[in-house]
Amino acid sequence: MDFAIICAGLLIFGLGMYVILDGFDLGVGILFPWAPTDDCKNVMMSSIAPVWDGNETWLIYGGGLLFAAFPIAYSIILSALYVPIMLLILALILRGVAFEFRLKAVRSRWIWDTSFTAGSVLAAFSQGIILGAVIHGIHVENLMFAGKVFDCFNSFSITTGAALVIGYGFLGSTWLVMKTEGITRDWAKHITKPLLFMVLLFLLVISINTPLEYPHIRHRWFSLPNFFYLCPIPLLVLVFAYGVFKGLAENLDNVPFRCAIGIFFLGLMGIAISLWPNMIMPNITIWQVSASKPSQIFVLCVLSVSLPIVLGYTYFVYRIFRGKVTKEDAYY
């Protein structure tokens, strides 16, 4: 049994859960300044209040699994991406503080509103920089980072940073369509379509640029018979995009969010297929940076207990707080 593959699969799963779950509440923060009224802002905050901190558990899960199962990759990635990772941590702290302080603030509430939005945008942009830098590649010699601290900032990573900000905004708008009503829901429906068009445009640009710039990725996607096996992925993206439009048109409020999750899931699947089996681009595989077999077995034993607890908690919270949030239910 190849434990490195199992650990890598669990890592991809954890990161996917984080991107989707924390993505929509970051998206709510990104959209926050354009809310029609203060009451709408209160409802927006209330829609994510029961779940936002639990969503960030998946970031800890992913980071812990990377450290325990792939320690060499952890050291390389942390060294190469120190700046965006620190910006991400600071942004999440700022966002969390603003979320709690806004509840009690009156005259200074505008400060915490601005901080909440700034933290959300910076967190999303930093994650996009990290993603773009990982895809673009890291300069490694003797399994150690050998590049410069700002190598992660390039045209490709900045593009993926902007794309993730828009993508999270799209997730946030579909979440608000599902969870709110009245003015807030109507406003969220109004902005979802242009956000979806921008998401599709970014996906198209990145999907064209990446194979052109990286021959191994081009070969992975366009060589035969791979092309026939993988072409359903972009086609399904279009199907889910149509589902978003159909859900908005027919007032099926749950459908756009579920289809948005599908689009993100397919995007993550495309990234995983492009990079596999490399963990550090362009040519360092998961086996080169993995921990020893006993360590991986220990990690899997810990996950066999902790992962069901996290999944159970996540299901329980979303089950308890299902349904729409009204102005009367708002925490603010």
The answer to whether position 273 is within a domain reads yes
The answer to whether position 42 is within a domain reads yes
Reply yes or no on whether the pLDDT at 228 is more than 70: yes
Q: What is the mean pLDDT of residues 51-72?
A: 90
The answer to whether position 150 is within a domain reads yes
Query: What tens digit of pLDDT does each residue of 76-110 get?
Result: 999 999 999 999 999 999 998 988 888 777 788 88
Q: HSE-up of 95 (CA within 13 Å, CB side)?
A: 28
What is the number of structural domains in the chain? Answer: 1
Tell me the pLDDT band of 328, cut-offs 50, 70 and 90.
low
Q: Give the number of other CB atoms < 10 A from CB of residue 204.
A: 12
* Predicted structure pTM score: 0.93
The answer to whether position 325 is within a domain reads no
The answer to whether position 291 is within a domain reads yes
Reply yes or no on whether the pLDDT at 331 is more than 80: no
User: How many whole angstroms separate alpha carbon 81 and alpha carbon 78?
Assistant: 5
What is the chain's mean pLDDT, rounded? 90
Which CATH number is 156's domain given? 1.20.1630
Burial-class residue 54 by CB neighbours within 10 Å (0-12, 13-18, 19+): middle
Tell me the pLDDT band of 261, cut-offs 50, 70 and 90.
very high
Query: What tens digit of pLDDT does each residue of 180-200 get?
Result: 998 999 999 999 999 999 999
Domain that holds residue 176: 3-320
